[in-house]
Amino acid sequence: MFESPTYNFSISLSTSLVQPLGIRILGMDIALLGVLTAVQLSFVGFGAIIGTSIILRYRYFRKKLWLFFEAINRIGWASIIFADLVPSYSAKLLTFYSAVAVSQMSGAIAGIAAGDVGADIVTRDRAPKFFGRLNSLNNMASLISLAASIVVFLYLGGGSRDAYWVLYILSLVAAIISTIFLRMIRDDPGVVVALKLVGSAGLMNLVSIYRDMARSRGVKEYILIILLYTVAVNFPASIWNYYLIYSIGGDEVWITSKMATVYLVKALILGIWPFIVDRYGTRIIFTTTLVMISPIPILFMVARSLASQILLEIYSSVWWSSWDLLTGLYNLYLFPRDVRPIALSIIVFSTNMGASSASIMGSIISSSIPYGSEITFTLSALSRVLVSLLAFKKLPLLDLKIKQ
């Protein structure tokens, strides 16, 4: 309850400003932003594969692995501003991309360990309310950080190099504090003893588990749906802020105001979603969520004022908060404990590699043909609708009534 909000305070600043930082301070165009987005997404996928082998081999050290790699993740993200000090432009870009890559890879490894620990210290019958409350705290912390960034940009001006330095130093301080809280978290000692007795998973056992999972009813359907929807969402991943600045006429105040709106709405609505999920079930709410998220890229293009962009973020955040809660629950509780780290690695690797490919395709379309950005947004919306129809037929039901 202390570690996660302080982490989100730090990471919301450093990650939400990374594209504006690239545009304003490093002078990135759509092509370079496409590379940035591809690096962000693909190295999460690489980290998932590496993290699986590490965590399966040393699973009884999973809390220590979480601490080590998560510290690199949050401190690394907060430190990317130091690329601005590199004199050569090519070296500056290389430093920037490298810092993002290392931060993302370490975060993916830490995420697998964190999910494995979290699913054992929170029973599934308590999970919807607990994670709903925790996510609300996380979003409130992120809201506070974005409110601070709005104040800084209003005072120092949009595009100000000093503003970026102030905010990233603030993010670095919060990253260090959150790491201290992370060190205080304790794993379930009974589970750790059991994991040590079982030992590590060998390569043939790992292959066998992958094969068994592929045959499991509902598992492959869930992973396929999440993969396809993530691909659809990420076609315009590299152009949102670029389009907002150069086509709609927004600036950093718009960007941070929109992000602050996201965190405020999520903080408020996440306390309600667990009751809705409990009333109507995971499958109905999840499929409805996919449908309601689908038209957002079209609505984004026609929202030409700050007020209309804020309204769109309110609508978007309501449904993305449902996505956050439900994907978290499915990822932690759809799979048995023995295969959970492997399942998480499959999901993280496949969705991030798919998202990386989609973002590159969107970047190419946006920069190479007339009205390319508009075509990319439209392609994203139509693809989301098609995957939503698939989900109505194939998404498995998740039973949260049975205690671990």
Question: Tell me, what's the pLDDT at 120?
Answer: 79
CATH number of the domain that residue 195 is part of: 1.20.1250.20
Quote the domain boundaries for residue 133.
Answer: 3-394
* Total domains, the chain: 1
Question: Tell me, what's the pLDDT at 404?
Answer: 42
Q: Tell me, yes or no, whether 172 lies in a domain.
A: yes
Question: Tell me, what's the pLDDT at 200?
Answer: 53
Q: Tell me, yes or no, whether 400 lies in a domain.
A: no
Low-confidence ranges of the chain (pLDDT < 50): 202-204, 402-404
Which residue type does 160 have? S
Q: Tell me, yes or no, whether 88 lies in a domain.
A: yes
Question: Tell me, what's the pLDDT at 303?
Answer: 95
Q: Tell me, yes or no, whether 402 lies in a domain.
A: no
Q: Tell me, yes or no, whether 72 lies in a domain.
A: yes
pTM of the model: 0.74
Q: Tell me, yes or no, whether 273 lies in a domain.
A: yes
Q: Tell me, yes or no, whether 404 lies in a domain.
A: no
Question: Tell me, what's the pLDDT at 74?
Answer: 94
Q: Tell me, yes or no, whether 403 lies in a domain.
A: no
